[in-house]
Chains A and B, each alone.
Chain A
């Protein structure tokens, strides 16, 4: 369903990777590994359509990506993307509605931040912010492609278990997941591919 050919990326005058190609089907997981600065985040942002690759093509469902691609793709970057002035629930509702998803309060509870729903986001710790950002995974099963940049960073044991469960559930339902991570957690998938950069 997701296919790339001859992708190359250049940032700050340095060629990070070139001639990158892979194919990913339903229920499959792609792990991207590499040292800091090796281009993992850049690759994810290219797949999300935020960064233009130097060369190469990306096909989704056999055709070049068009404007509708955003409806089928969920991108979770480094930043938790929360507004300090809004409450956790308001932030969550906004990010869901932005992606045309239905927000459900128990998605917040799934990641242990349900009780913080009415708290302004400025009072949250880093880990709590990450968990609010990840709560979207609980309502995004309708979006086939998940692009997750370091989803397990700054999380405690409980949250890691919850996120692993969400990812595995998505894969079992036929979704595709591309993730970057420094930590190795086993994840059940129909097939798993690995990409090592740098």
Chain B
């Protein structure tokens, strides 16, 4: 079995036995999205216009909330050290963990998002765009988030610090992701947004793992 498959299977198996963690993130996402109408009022046209941004911000916050778990447990019990000392290339280790994170966070968010979109009365084509933009954009959140999670290993106040480090980097994904859905609402062609999301995915799949590997080596020095 390849190293990537070995690590991915391990992470998924562990998550399956700690289902609570995964569900908590999903519930958090739904709660955040439900808070906005309570904050700004139930007027349907206003909510419909806000919906792409609200769902995307919810996804961003849910990703940030799930990031501390990415490396912290393995760091604490010594398994991360074993991975670094083994002959497995570190980029493979990092990519496997990122893939597991996305399968457990980003993918469920993308699947649940259309339900939230219905709460905001988004039309069908916008709902499809919402799911598509999240499917394309949430891997970026995992890739860049992994770098943030690795940088704060072993420091005090890791949770809030990760948010500060990672949210500014999430701004482009937010703009293009929400923009793609918004394009459907205002009747313009969204293809440019999806291309840009694709470009972001390409760039972050280079920077994210590089930074995470470098940061893990620093943390375990």
Contacts and interface: CB of A to CB of B under 8 A. Distances in A.
CB atoms of A and B under 8 A apart anywhere in the complex?
yes
Interface of A: 48-52, 67-71, 73, 75, 77-86, 90, 94-95, 97-100
A97 B82 contact: no
Contacts of B10: 83, 86, 94
Interface of chain A, helix or strand or loop or mixed?
A: loop
Nearest to A80: B78
Contacts of B73: 83
Given A48-B85, A50-B84, 12 more contacts: A50-B81, A50-B85, A52-B221, A71-B87, A75-B81, A75-B82, A77-B82, A81-B77, A82-B79, A83-B73, A83-B77, A86-B13
B81 A81 contact: yes
A100 B73 CA distance: 23
Chain B contact residues (Cβ within 8 angstroms of A): what range? 20 to 34
Nearest to B85: A75
B88 A70 contact: yes
A119 to B, nearest CB: 14
11 contacts: A50-B85, A50-B221, A51-B221, A68-B87, A69-B87, A77-B78, A77-B81, A79-B77, A80-B78, A81-B79, A100-B87
Interface string B145-184: 0000000000000000000000000000000000000000
A97 B18 CA distance: 23
A86 B10 CA distance: 9
A16 B99 CA distance: 40
B84 A67 contact: no
Q: Which of B13, B81, B220 has the most CB of A within 10 A?
A: B81
Contacts of B221: 50-52
Contact of A81 (B3, B13, B82, B87): B82
- Nearest first, the 8 A-B pairs at minimum CB distance are A79-B78, A70-B87, A81-B78, A71-B87, A75-B85, A85-B17, A81-B79, A98-B86
B59 to A, nearest CB: 27
Contacts of A73: 85
Interface string B85-100: 1111100000000000
A99 B86 CA distance: 6
A49 B6 CA distance: 23
Interface string B3-30: 1001000100110011000000000000
A85 B88 contact: no
A86 B82 contact: no
A52 B84 CA distance: 13
A80 B220 CA distance: 16
Contact of A83 (B14, B89, B220): B14
A85 B85 contact: no
A113 to B, nearest CB: 18
Contacts of A82: 77, 79
Contacts of B86: 70, 98-99
B1 A97 contact: yes
B87 A99 contact: yes
B13 A90 contact: yes
Contacts of A48: 85
B83 interface: yes
Interface in B46-98: 73, 77-79, 81-89
B83 A98 contact: yes
Given A50-B220, A52-B221, A79-B81, A98 B6 contact: yes
B101 to A, nearest CB: 16
Contacts of A83: 10, 14, 73, 77, 79
A52 B217 CA distance: 10
Q: Which of B77, B82, B83 has the most CB of A within 10 A?
A: B82
Nearest to A133: B78
